[in-house]
Amino acid sequence: MEFLIWGALPYAVAVMLISGLIWRYRYDQFGWTTRSSELLESKVLKVASPLFHFAILVVLMGHLVGLLIPMAVTNWLGIDNHDYHRGALIGGGFAGICLVVGLVLLLWRRSTKGAVLRATTTNDKIMYLVLATVIGLGLVATLTGGIGPGGEEHNYRETVSVWFRSLLMFHPDVAAMQAATWQFKVHVLMGLTLFAILPFTRLVHSFTAPLHYLFRPYIVYRSRGDGKTLSRTARGRGWDPVGTPDNARGRR
């Protein structure tokens, strides 16, 4: 059972993520958008959205460092475990708190501002639930996951990180993950869920971060005949009819 979860499931999730992204990119470019609600409400958004997004970028960097850089490397660099964890706790904890505050503000905005709530689809609600759970569990793991049930010290860099890197080598070290505390296990499990549903939610916008904007020319010319001007979006997906009942009925 544990082998299925820690040895097979991550690969299933990876396949789902990658193939989902390719499928969506190929057949639902029209749906690939942030679906911003700034038009409908901007006061709260202006504070909460940058807070959330910048925090999640920091958290992402923290995860990459924590998961990818083996303990041996930091030890070799002369950073001892205690210092590392203090740094991670301060930096990561601060970003984590910003992230949670941002998310709470965004969720409050979404649920109390009528126009924004109305623009929220069922898909969005499921996504927010999973996202909030992952972030909440992440904070729980950071704060309480350092001590095992028997009171022994638990270092995720010796369990989760080792397991994560073993996945990249296609030789899953299930035992390493089994040794992690329950907080980390649940966090990872929910994280996998999030990645699995990601291609089918509005979160796909994170995969088209427009960094090429820094390099492209300001004025874009395109020929009518170059074929790029034609939609690749599947039929049946597109603009919706107007009207109050239609708004509710056609909701995606």
Partner 1 sequence: MGRRVMAQVAMVMNLDKCIGCHTCSVTCKQAWTNRAGTEYVWFNNVETRPGQGYPRGYEDQEKWQGGWIRTKSGRLKLRSGGRFKKLLTIFASPTQPGIDDYYEPWTYDYETLTTAPLGDDFPVARPKSLITGQDMAIKASANWDDALGGIAETGDQDPIVKKLREQANQQIKFEYEKSFMFFVPRICEHCLNPSCMASCPSGAIYKRSEDGIVLVDQDRCRGWRQCITGCPYKKIYFNHRSGKAEKCTMCYPRLEVGLPTVCSETCVGRLRYLGIILYDPEKVTKAALADEQDLYESQLDLMLDPSDPQVIADARASGIPDDWLSAAQRSPVYALIKHFKVALPLHPEYRTMPMVWYIPPLSPVVDLLKSQGHDAEAGGNLFGAIDALRIPLEYLAELFTAGDVETVRLVLQKLAAMRSYMRDVTLGRPLQPELAEAVGMSTEALEQMYRLLAIAKYDERYVIPTAHVAEAHNLEEMACSLDFEGGPGAGGNGAFASGSGRPIPIALESFAETKARRDAAEASR
Where do contacts with partner 1 occur on this chain (CB under 8 A)? 27, 29-30, 32-42, 45-47, 49-50, 52-54, 114-115, 118-119, 202, 205, 208, 210-214, 216, 218-225, 227-236, 238-244, 246-248, 250
- CA 110, CA 118: separation in Å to the nearest integer? 9
User: Which is closer to partner 1, CB of 113 or CB of 165?
Assistant: 113
User: Which is closer to partner 1, CB of 67 or CB of 119?
Assistant: 119
DSSP label at residue 172: -
User: Which is closer to partner 1, CB of 76 or CB of 218?
Assistant: 218
57-93 per-residue burial string, b: 16 or more CB within 10 A, e: under 16: ebbeebeeebbeeeeeebeeeeeeeeebeeebeeebe
The Cβ of residue 178 has, within 10 Å, a number of other Cβ atoms equal to 14
Q: How far is the CB of 44 from partner 1 (least distance, A)?
A: 10
User: Which is closer to partner 1, CB of 55 or CB of 162?
Assistant: 55
Tokens, residue 61: 């960097």
Alpha-carbon separation of residue 243 from 37, 225, 248, 251 (angstroms):
19, 36, 9, 12
Rounded to the nearest 10 degrees, the angle between the axes of helix 43-68 and helix 160-168 is 80
Residue with tokens 């109050």: 244
Q: How far is the CB of 180 from partner 1 (least distance, A)?
A: 33
Q: How far is the CB of 33 from partner 1 (least distance, A)?
A: 4
User: Which is closer to partner 1, CB of 3 or CB of 30?
Assistant: 30
Q: How far is the CB of 252 from partner 1 (least distance, A)?
A: 9
Q: How far is the CB of 124 from partner 1 (least distance, A)?
A: 11
